[in-house]
A = this chain, B = another copy of it.
Amino acid sequence: MPTMMKALRKMSSGPGLQLESVAVPEAGPTDALIRVRAASICGTDLHIYGWDRWSQSRIKPPLTLGHEFCGYVERVGEEVRGIAPGDFVSAEMHVNCGYCHQCRIGQPHICQNLEIIGIDRDGAFAEFVRIPARNVWKIDPGIPEHYAAILDPLGNAVHAVLAGEIAGHTVAVTGCGPIGLMAIAVARACGCSTLFATEVNPLRAALAKRMGADEVINPVEADAVARVRAATSGAGVDVLLEMSGNPTAIQQGFKMLRAGGRASLLGIPSQPVNLDLVEDVIFKGATVQGIYGRKMFETWVQMTALLKSGRLDLEPLFRERYILDRFQDAFTLLEGGQASKVLFYPNGGVDMVQK
């Protein structure tokens, strides 16, 4: 067992990251120490890398990034039950307090004192990561290793899709980034009816088709609202899954929604959004849901079941695999606007070739 390890870190306020050598974390009595097998880059990591306004207010350097990963349990604290060294695991990176009102009434995913590993504490872009044992999730043997590295965003998608009825329901997905694309596959696997997607990026639009969208509309080139309404006898869709965070897309999404429909909002707009509450929510009797994180741990159970069933083909999402040393190439690749998951293998041991 080494005492020092490589970690990809934000060392000071400002753009960029640095590969550092740091001490391997100590695991407390209720913690697990995980040897990272694979970790995936999230859009949030790109924001921190670029040091946008949100990052400036939230991130306190120095910090090791990384909150999507899988690995092997290396060591557990003395009070830990249910997991043991050698287990192949991922983890819920939202750490709840256990004491606030929401924690007490069964809504820990919206805990008032939530901390996120890789955002507020050192994360998984490193050879080892420390995780509270109750946040560790054992991976079913039927799930491929690289899928296990992206359960965090897949959980976002599953939480959004299953936040209401989906079987036999028409769906619009606005925005086909990685989570939007996963949501398409999940909705399809759960028996949704006709699924429309909107996306301006041609690469993402093509992926949306491969993930199972019946129709992908470029909202710059076509009137997406008119198209969806025409295809639903004027009624609109039963379910809106808003995955873009783009104010115009949000507004269009609401216009696509039928009266009595459900809008699940996951995409993060960078500013307040002007909503026509009367026509789009009140007169429609619509239900609007904020989707944050994943339910702990219902979503993990559902996600495991969907993956085991073999109905979720996520292969189209994967691109390059890198060792941490080549992080610059990885971030540059993603800054091009791809809806792809790029994986780090901090401990090496795979062919770092393109998937």
Contacts and interface: CB of A to CB of B under 8 A. Distances in A.
Interface of A: 81-82, 98-102, 104-107, 109-110, 112, 134, 158, 162, 165-170, 189-194, 233-235, 250, 258-260, 265-266, 268-269, 272-278, 281-293, 295-298, 300-306, 308-309, 311
B290 A258 contact: no
Contact of A101 (B193, B235, B303): B235
A81 B100 CA distance: 11
B277 A110 contact: no
Contacts of A98: 134
Given A104-B300, A167-B167, A286-B289, 18 more contacts: A102-B258, A105-B260, A106-B295, A112-B259, A166-B167, A167-B302, A168-B301, A169-B305, A189-B191, A191-B309, A193-B305, A194-B308, A272-B274, A272-B275, A272-B276, A274-B274, A283-B290, A285-B290
Nearest to A105: B298
Contacts of A250: 277
Contacts of A309: 191-193
A273 B190 CA distance: 34
Nearest to A302: B168
Top-6 shortest CB links A-B: A168-B302, A193-B305, A190-B191, A288-B288, A168-B305, A281-B290
A287 B112 CA distance: 17
> By CB atoms of chain B within 10 A, which of A82, A104, A273, A282 has the most?
A282
